[in-house]
Amino acid sequence: MADEIKAAPPATFKVTIDNITIDVKPGTTILNAARQIGGDVAPPAMCYYSKLEGSGGKCRTCLVEVAAGSTADPRPMPKLVASCRTTVMDGMVVKNITSDRVLDARNGVVEFLLINHPLDCPICDQAGECNLQDLSYNHGEEGTRYQFARRTFVKEDIGPYIQLHMTRCILCYRCVFVAEQITNKRVHGVVDRGDHAAISTYISRAVDNDFSGNMIDVCPVGALTDKTFRFKNRVWFTKPVDAHRNCQTPGCCGKATLWMRGDEVFRVTTRKDPWGEVQSFDGKPGWICNTCRFDKKDAKDWVVEGLTTISRHSVIGTNKYETLQVPAETVKEVMKGQAPKLLMNIHNVSEVNNPNIHLSEIDRPAHADDFSESATHTPGQGESDQFGRTN
């Protein structure tokens, strides 16, 4: 026949990643195909975010080796490729953790990412849920070969709720994409070029739109921190629970994660999937507004659904009750009605702490000046002094 009928393209492509073969739709990237397998087969990603258009291709942590391009052309690709930007072909064979070239390259990428990083995990609010922390633990070296001065920046408030620590930034552009795609007033971005490139606001303008808090959630490191949560608690001391409220802000899903310690809500974030990205509801990313995030920190403002499932390995998922019902508290009964949180109340004994100052109510780190007024405190009738003596 003169007119040959062309064969219809396959509905799915077969791709083999680390000796595991799966079927995926055409147009799927290697990274997303690996995520369908899960576990260590999925390459790490510091800049790619599936809910943000244009993300990926910047950090190079997701490099993989393509051992065979496709069934039609089984030749290997000569260089490692970014799995977040490379789509699969039928019959493609990919190596991630089974490739020594990939692991060596990833170790080198992590070394570059840590060149200017301050390594201040003990005082960083992102500690315990930091992608760079996990990446450096798996691929970092004990020491550094870098002998020059690191880049340093002054901490910058880029709005009433967000503080920027540019020394920790790895220029993943996620926050820029968030502001560009879910807000209508982007006033920050990447300024300068090369080794002078930095995230900053334009002409010192403040980021004050209704969804600016989502920039904190997408940041893979501790560069953007929540000023209302700074130094208030460690994430592994809190218990994340899923909750929702009837939010009237257009574009807000009203579904969030409350990070609680006891009955106190320390912070509110979007709900995350196993890859650290915001969950989708009804086919749309579940972004939340600043009202839900910063103004609704009372458990009574929410309908609590249950404990958040921490599906990936994380210190946050340790020592958590399987249900919301906690064991009966007997300390209060033994201590004649005194609440457990008051057992360490030594204001009247030490003559140092000011009993009128409550650390949980201070919107900043505590300072010695906060307690200077108690230096002249004299124990009253029935109170004990610093030596345990009672008047």
pLDDT at 363 over 60: yes
Q: What does the alpha-carbon distance between residue 113 and residue 61 come to, in Å, rounded to a whole number?
A: 10
Q: Is residue 249 part of a domain?
A: yes
pLDDT at 18: 95
Least confident of 6-15, 33-42, 209-218, 336-345: 336-345
Same domain as 130, residue 89: no
pLDDT at 242: 94
Helices (H), the chain: 30-37, 100-113, 131-139, 174-182, 214-218, 290, 331-334, 347-350
For range 290-296, the mean pLDDT: 93
* Whether 68 contacts 91, CB under 8 Å: yes
pLDDT at 187 over 80: no
pLDDT averaged over the chain? 82
Least confident of 27-36, 38-47, 61-70, 191-200: 191-200
pLDDT at 385 over 50: no
Where is pLDDT greater, at 376 or 295?
A: 295
Same domain as 194, residue 133: yes
Half-sphere exposure of 111 (CA within 13 A, CB side): 13
pLDDT at 237 over 60: yes
Where is pLDDT greater, at 257 or 198?
A: 257
For range 307-317, the mean pLDDT: 72
Same domain as 136, residue 64: no
Where is pLDDT greater, at 15 or 143?
A: 15
Same domain as 219, residue 126: yes
Q: What is the number of structural domains in the chain? A: 4
Point out the domain boundary residue: 317, 349, 384: 317
Same domain as 52, residue 35: yes
For range 136-160, the mean pLDDT: 84
For range 149-155, the mean pLDDT: 86
Point out the domain boundary residue: 317, 348, 364: 317
Same domain as 107, residue 180: no
Same domain as 363, residue 268: no
Exposure string for 206-235, b = 16+ CB within 10 A, e = fewer: ebebbbbbbbbbbbbbbbbbbebbeebbeb
**Enclosing domain of residue 17:** 13-111
Tell me if the pTM is above 0.85.
no
pLDDT at 222 over 50: yes
Can you give the CATH number for the domain in which 74 is found?
Answer: 3.10.20.740
Same domain as 219, residue 257: no
Same domain as 313, residue 289: yes
Candidates 221, 236, 230, 216; CA nearest to 128 is: 236
Same domain as 167, residue 257: no
